[in-house]
Amino acid sequence: MAGKTKKSEASSSSSRNSSRSSNHRGESVVVDYGKNKSSCGYCKSSARSSISHGLGTQSITINDYQDLLDRGWRRSGCFLYKPEMEKTCCPAYTIRLKAGDFVPSKEQLRVSRRMQRFLEGTLDCKRPVETVEDPNASRDTCSRTHLGVSSLAVKESSSNNNEEKDGEENIVRFLSDQVGSVVHACSESGEFPDIQFPKASVKKVSQAKRKILVEGSEDLLYSTNIAFQIAATIKRSLPDQKDGNQGRFSRNITDENGPSPKLIAEKLESFLNQLAKTSGLSVRACNGHLNFYSAAKHASAYESSQTVSVSKGSAASSVSKGCSLKNSSENTQVKRRRLEIHLKRSSFDSEEYALYRRYQMMVHNDTPDHVTESSYRRFLVDTPLIFVPPTGDGTVPPCGFGSFHQQYVIDGKLVAVGVIDILPRCLSSKYLFWDPDFAFLSPGKYSALQEINWVKENQAHCSTLQYYYLGYYIHSCSKMRYKAAYSPSELLCPLRYQWVPFAIAKPLLDRKPYVVLSDFSTLQDRESLPPHVSEDVMEMQHDDIGKEDTNDFLMYDDEGMMEPEYGSSDNEQHLASVDVEDGDVGNILIGLKGSRVKFKFAFRPSERSYLEFQLRRYMRVVGEALAERMVYSLE
């Protein structure tokens, strides 16, 4: 079967392998799974409309994987996949950001400040106070839960009306922030679409208004109509979607007339129920309004020295059991929290796995039998990347190159884990899972900011390390829009593999899902843009897109591509030569029976036909340089 190998070729191959071993970079060994058609995890199409090419990997060097990323590949464990961009239903463009050019948006700055306040102890721990369920509440129209505001009822201060007013404003402001955090949590969990929602505004209910309301309203203190605003925003942002195809969020917050304020308010209340275990002030969803009630009969006045305690998200249940907003005039000691970020090489950790299970079941509603240790290992622990240790010569960062888990630990408690690959030119963010109790801190956004900062800091140790890769960007998938908020980002052209500014790509993708972006890569300013593109690009530059996280980082990259069954079910013998990248497949290195030999020396001409077709298809998807550098295993 195998033909003779020239001595010079064999020597060259041996020399190459020796060189790989000497620099500890090893060799890349892949198995070609070919093209696959499957149902789509993004548009939820029932047809087999998602088309991709798959590779199994025995090992892969960091340089080869970097080059594969720059040709549109991604990995899930030891499995590599690349969408067939022109044919698949939801084209997925690789998106990246040059860390040194990053300009944080107002929302991203708010996320950093919120975390800083949390760590500094601005949200202080308070003991929960019991509250009494309102027996008059009608469960048909109004459901009720406890928000976790301890002792909002405080004594009247007749000596200083200004102080009373200031205390009232502080409470209203804090309750507004609390509702805003819940809206964030709903976006992060995918209950709401990934769009910019109006800021929540809680208003005090006047005494006169309480008298004309239903029985039991005498204890009503505050109210917000944010649910109506959210419903209107969704309707405006999704005008083309039909009632039966409005995404996952629509099943919970829409009725036959579209987004329902009543259902949205109840959804917000349910999140408040999950976020707060303490009591004192209760919240009730009533016909689209969120109303806040006092558990005490005399809760209308305030004194300046009073601490107003409000649970800041579900973290209260496991971290603080209720957090408080301190009056600026107080001189009370506050408890500071300690955040530690640990970078460790990818390996199984039982504490991480327990957090992953909790995250998947609570945030993504996975059943326990779908969150097994073996699936977790395959997805987030196993890696084909060959670790490269630090060299101290300015070419490798102190941690080395390879696959890592970045742990976020607050006061000794593991609250989030980022799964990342550190490569010669980038940090590639693969997945993040986090403690649902800490959703109010927007862990996805915060971890992204930390990873961007990590790249900037480590450029001093490795000058080639300049980029932050955010995975895939699917323009038609609202849950991915937040990625473009890390600006100025670039998308990879699916044909020529050139990087194109997102500002140029966005208006093109608004019109059709598949675009050869490099055709427009020179359109860098208004004068050079065609009229129909110019206005959209300039408008996008003033648009603070992606302000609301849907699911934190890169969750949906691999959710829609979890190692499908690849094989030769599709007969591709009709593949035209125009579809195949030019190159000599004879130079592809074949792994066969423990040896490495170029294809042109491995088989007799009569035996090459079908394998040659497979190799041409393989060269088309990985490129000539990688095809000749990696080992194509037949074992």
Of the candidates 557, 551, 562, 556, which has an alpha carbon nearest to the alpha carbon of residue 379? 562
What pLDDT, on a 0 to 100 scale, did the predictor assign at position 522? 64
E strand or H helix at 282: strand 281-286
Residues 119-142: tens digit of each pLDDT? 998 754 333 333 333 333 333 334
Which residues does 328 contact at the CB level (< 8 Å), separation at least 6? Answer: none
Do 277 and 187 have their domain in common? Answer: yes
Residue 406 lies in a domain: yes
Q: Would you state the structure tokens that stand for residue 346, as one six-digit string?
A: 């990818």
What pLDDT, on a 0 to 100 scale, did the predictor assign at position 167? 64
- Residue 200 belongs to a domain with what CATH number? 3.30.1360.70
- Per the listing, tokens 């689209």 go with 288
Residues 26-41: tens digit of each pLDDT? 999 999 999 999 888 8
Check residues 464 and 236 and name the one with the higher pLDDT.
464
What pLDDT, on a 0 to 100 scale, did the predictor assign at position 521? 74
- Mean pLDDT score across all residues of the chain: 76
- Whether 618 shows a pLDDT value over 90: the answer reads yes
Confidence band of 466 (pLDDT split at 50, 70, 90): very high
Last residue of a domain, which of 454, 474, 494?
A: 474
Query: Environment class of residue 488 by beta-carbon count within 10 Å: exposed (0-12), middle (13-18) or buried (19+)?
Result: middle
Do 348 and 454 have their domain in common? Answer: yes
Confidence band of 185 (pLDDT split at 50, 70, 90): confident
Last residue of a domain, which of 474, 492, 508?
A: 474
Question: How many helices and strands (H and E) does the chain possess?
Answer: 18, 26
- Residue 357 belongs to a domain with what CATH number? 3.40.630
Q: Would you state the structure tokens that stand for residue 573, as one six-digit string?
A: 């013998």
Residue 482 lies in a domain: no
Which residues does 626 contact at the CB level (< 8 Å), separation at least 6? Answer: 64, 67, 68, 71
Residue 256 lies in a domain: yes
What pLDDT, on a 0 to 100 scale, did the predictor assign at position 510? 94
Q: What percent of the chain has pLDDT over 90?
A: 45
Please provide residue 547's backbone torsions phi and psi, each rounded to the nearest 5 degrees.
Answer: -70, -25
- Whether 163 shows a pLDDT value over 80: the answer reads no
Residue 257 lies in a domain: yes
Which of 132-136, 197-201, 372-376, 569-573 shows the lowest mean pLDDT across its residues? 132-136
Q: Residue 273 belongs to what domain range?
A: 166-236+252-294
Residues 217-269: tens digit of each pLDDT? 557 888 899 989 888 888 887 655 444 444 445 567 888 778 888 888 888 88
Q: Say how far apart CA 264 and CA 268 lie, in whole Å.
A: 6
Q: Say how far apart CA 94 and CA 557 lie, in whole Å.
A: 10
Residues 73-77 have a mean pLDDT of: 97
- Whether 54 shows a pLDDT value over 70: the answer reads yes
When mean pLDDT is compared over 64-68, 265-269, 313-317, the highest value belongs to 64-68
Check residues 186 and 296 and name the one with the higher pLDDT.
186
- Whether 536 shows a pLDDT value over 80: the answer reads no
- Per the listing, tokens 């007969």 go with 571
Do 357 and 470 have their domain in common? Answer: yes
Do 389 and 466 have their domain in common? Answer: yes
Which residues does 412 contact at the CB level (< 8 Å), separation at least 6? Answer: none
Which residues does 469 contact at the CB level (< 8 Å), separation at least 6? Answer: 69, 94, 95, 96, 426, 427, 428, 429
Do 467 and 354 have their domain in common? Answer: yes
What pLDDT, on a 0 to 100 scale, did the predictor assign at position 347? 97
Residues 486-505 have a mean pLDDT of: 96
What pLDDT, on a 0 to 100 scale, did the predictor assign at position 257? 77
Which residues does 463 contact at the CB level (< 8 Å), separation at least 6? Answer: 394
What pLDDT, on a 0 to 100 scale, did the predictor assign at position 255? 80
Do 465 and 362 have their domain in common? Answer: yes
Residues 541-554 have a mean pLDDT of: 33
The angle at the Cα of 91, spanning 87 to 96, to the nearest 5 degrees, equals: 145
Q: Say how far apart CA 251 and CA 191 lie, in whole Å.
A: 9
pTM of the predicted protein model: 0.65
Residue 266 lies in a domain: yes
- Whether 65 shows a pLDDT value over 90: the answer reads yes
Residue 312 lies in a domain: no
What pLDDT, on a 0 to 100 scale, did the predictor assign at position 78? 97
Do 185 and 270 have their domain in common? Answer: yes
Q: Say how far apart CA 78 and CA 276 lie, in whole Å.
A: 40
The angle at the Cα of 318, spanning 312 to 319, to the nearest 5 degrees, equals: 60
Q: How many independent structural domains does the chain possess?
A: 2
Do 105 and 194 have their domain in common? Answer: no
Check residues 273 and 328 and name the one with the higher pLDDT.
273
Residue 229 lies in a domain: yes
What pLDDT, on a 0 to 100 scale, did the predictor assign at position 165? 61
Residue 524 lies in a domain: no
Do 266 and 376 have their domain in common? Answer: no
Helix (H, G, I), strand (E, B) or coil at 309: strand
Last residue of a domain, which of 425, 445, 474?
A: 474
Residues 67-91 have a mean pLDDT of: 96
Which of 139-153, 359-373, 425-439 shows the lowest mean pLDDT across its residues? 139-153
Q: Say how far apart CA 276 and CA 148 lie, in whole Å.
A: 5
Q: Say how far apart CA 607 and CA 515 lie, in whole Å.
A: 39
Check residues 534 and 432 and name the one with the higher pLDDT.
432
- Whether 439 shows a pLDDT value over 70: the answer reads yes
What pLDDT, on a 0 to 100 scale, did the predictor assign at position 211? 53
Do 356 and 444 have their domain in common? Answer: yes
Do 109 and 196 have their domain in common? Answer: no
When mean pLDDT is compared over 71-80, 243-252, 591-600, 601-610, the highest value belongs to 71-80
- Per the listing, tokens 């090419």 go with 53
Q: Say how far apart CA 382 and CA 377 lie, in whole Å.
A: 6
Do 344 and 466 have their domain in common? Answer: yes
Radius of gyration over every alpha carbon of the chain, rounded to an integer in angstroms: 28
Check residues 358 and 235 and name the one with the higher pLDDT.
358
- Whether 317 shows a pLDDT value over 50: the answer reads no
What pLDDT, on a 0 to 100 scale, did the predictor assign at position 166? 61
